[in-house]
Structure 1
Amino acid sequence: MSAIMTKGLKALGLAAIAATLALSAPAFAAGGAKHPHAPKEGFSFEGPFGTFDQGQLQRGYKVFREVCSNCHSATLMSFRNLGQKGGPFYDEKYKNPNDNPVVKQIASEFEVPDVDTDTGDAITRPATPSDHFPAKFANTYAAAASNGGAIPPDLSVITKARHGGARYVYSLLTGYVGTPKGLTVNEGQHYNPYMAGDLHSAWKGDPKHVPPGGVLAMAPPLKDDLVTYDDGTKATTHQMAADVAAFLEWAGDPHATLRKKTGVGVLIYLLLFAGVTYAAYRKLWHGKH
């Protein structure tokens, strides 16, 4: 019996250590020139104890609203998400985000489809906090027609759908470079070493040295001072890329911080439970084997 309990305690301890390492591991190992990377100051939400910076989320929303939403939608998000705890416009005075005046103002700036209950006609109305962000285009055909045949992806969960998450978004937005000599890129396409793709068919150079990355229809969307931040932060390309990447990371998983706190609490409980179990084992089984 004592041997079984000892093995169980060891397994429990190893599981706790493994879980801790998994939480704290970076999204990508060092190395690999074109692995998505974080800005030099890092992301505050990374790591087991990381949290989102509300000021950065507010700046990121502004970049999304004034730049990204010209082509992209985020239809899985509701306006009230912006005012929930941990969100960019959370205010502890408004426990119900639907009552948050900032969220109400933001929602009112959008028109959403509705139905006239008297006539049954399709109409639009100002959005309310309970509404979802509206789609930018009526359908995929309209989206393609407005973007040279390309359909801009919905950004609601883009950091979950792309390897690297926020690091991918940041790297892509800041990673545009000139087209390598020997690479054929069609008109309206742009080379980016962080874009997923296969360039073998378009590469005329040494087949052993195909450039990394791919091409996309989106031209470099950011440039210095493209937006004006309300908090006075200098809107450099790198700053805007980091801010909108953080916002999209939050948007894709608004409860990440709460889940981290819960996970850490569970690990602490398991470690304490392991200690109590071991102490009980020592007391009950010491000298009986």
Structure 2
Amino acid sequence: MVRLFGPLVGLFFAVALLWSFGNGAYSAISEPAAPTAEHEFHLHPKDVKFASDGAFGKFDKQQLQRGFQVYKEVCATCHSLKHVAFRDLAALGYSEAEVKAIAKEWGTKQPTFDPKTGERAERDNIPSDYFPTVYYAGQGSPPDLSLITKARHNGGAYVASLLTGYQEQPAELLKKFPDAKTPDGLYYNPYFANLNLSMPAPLTGEGQVTYSDGTKATVDQMAQDVSAFLIWSAEPKLDKRKQTGWAVLGFLLVATVLAYLAKKNVWADKKGE
């Protein structure tokens, strides 16, 4: 009996699955979803170019240092960078002494716990420590930025667009979708998925950061610099990966040519047989 009913049960579920799929497809075609403010007014990231883009791109260390400065002075109050260690900053061109100073002077200390006494305390950061977690007491839960450019499509351009995208809600949006008015405590940004987010514009004007290399700190410049830094934080070995990739491709090309020549040599005397 089990052998008899087993195929019938499987057939029943297969038919039910096909019916459900067909019914859903028919509904989607015959009754399309109503337009939403998010669908009509959400914008794709701007066309922002970075030095690390493309197969031959390389990080601009000067820009990465500027981006780290923006993160340190603007973003670090709310957003963590827990997957990056202070010693990793040496890859940006900082000396060992500079890395030690950055770690020691960082605003958030490393928590400690003494299992013998049960006491909790704090100590200064050292280069081998990862950036300490930021505990935010305001509205929402700011995301960790270590991998943000990997977690978002076209991540670097997305971050730069979001940072420079704050604006008043368009009158056309409010006219077409009266219920889509930005709630109190939120801020309109067309580059964010649902158009409204709890983070106010972090980059408020020119000169908010004073760059040590003399670069003019416009909002666009700061946004691009910190985005470049976050591209690096998400994939600090990007330069080496590209170099390794080209070396591997070169090896495979040479190996392919040698294999072809070896094949021609081995089978040269067999063609007439």
Does the pair score TM above 0.5?
yes
Q: Aligned partners of 2:198 and 2:206: how far apart in 1? A: 21
1:34 corresponds to which letter in structure 2? L
Distance 1:265 1:88, change over 3 A: same
2:70 aligned with 1:79: no
| TM superposition shift of 1:36 | 1.7
Deviations along 1:269-288, one digit per CA (max 9) or x if unpaired, are 11111111112222222463
SS of the aligned residue for 1:113 comes to: strand
Which consecutive residues of structure 1, in runs of 5 or more, have no partner in the other structure? 1-32, 92-99, 138-142, 198-213
Distance 1:253 1:271, change over 3 A: same
Q: Show the counterpart of 2:93.
A: 89
Bigger CA drift: 109-118 or 42-51?
109-118
| TM superposition shift of 1:165 | 1.3
Backbone CA RMSD of aligned residues: 1.7
SS of the aligned residue for 1:224 comes to: coil
Task: Using the aligned pairs only, state the percent identity.
Answer: 46
Q: Aligned partners of 1:119 and 1:104: how far apart in 2? A: 30
Q: Show the counterpart of 2:149.
A: 159
The number of equivalent residue pairs is 220
Bigger CA drift: 185-194 or 116-125?
116-125
Q: Show the counterpart of 2:110.
A: 112
- Aligned mate of 2:138, from 112, 129, 147: 147
2:201 corresponds to which letter in structure 1? P
Which consecutive residues of structure 2, in runs of 5 or more, have no partner in the other structure? 1-41, 175-179
Q: Aligned partners of 2:99 and 2:260: how far apart in 1? A: 51
- Aligned mate of 2:98, from 99, 102, 107: 102
Q: Show the counterpart of 2:202.
A: 221
Q: Aligned partners of 2:111 and 2:158: how far apart in 1? A: 33
CA contact (8 A) 1:75 1:154 kept: yes
Q: Aligned partners of 1:122 and 1:79: how far apart in 2? A: 23
Q: What does 1:146-225 align with in structure 2 at a 5 Å threshold?
A: 146-148=137-139, 150-181=140-171, 182=174, 183-197=180-194, 214-222=195-203, 223-225=205-207
1:115 corresponds to which letter in structure 2? F
SS of the aligned residue for 2:128 comes to: coil
Q: Show the counterpart of 2:21.
A: none
- Aligned mate of 1:34, from 43, 46, 68: 43
Q: Aligned partners of 1:115 and 1:101: how far apart in 2? A: 28
SS of the aligned residue for 1:67 comes to: helix
| TM superposition shift of 1:194 | 1.1
| TM superposition shift of 1:180 | 2.0
Q: Aligned partners of 1:77 and 1:166: how far apart in 2? A: 17
Q: Aligned partners of 1:285 and 1:36: how far apart in 2? A: 56
CA contact (8 A) 1:72 1:152 kept: yes
Q: Show the counterpart of 1:26.
A: none
| TM superposition shift of 1:89 | 3.1
| Structure with the greater alpha carbon radius of gyration | 2
Q: TM-score, normalised by structure 2?
A: 0.76
| TM superposition shift of 1:117 | 7.0
| TM superposition shift of 1:224 | 1.2
Deviations along 1:135-170, one digit per CA (max 9) or x if unpaired, are 111xxxxx3xx322x111011111111111111111
| TM superposition shift of 1:191 | 1.4
SS of the aligned residue for 2:110 comes to: strand
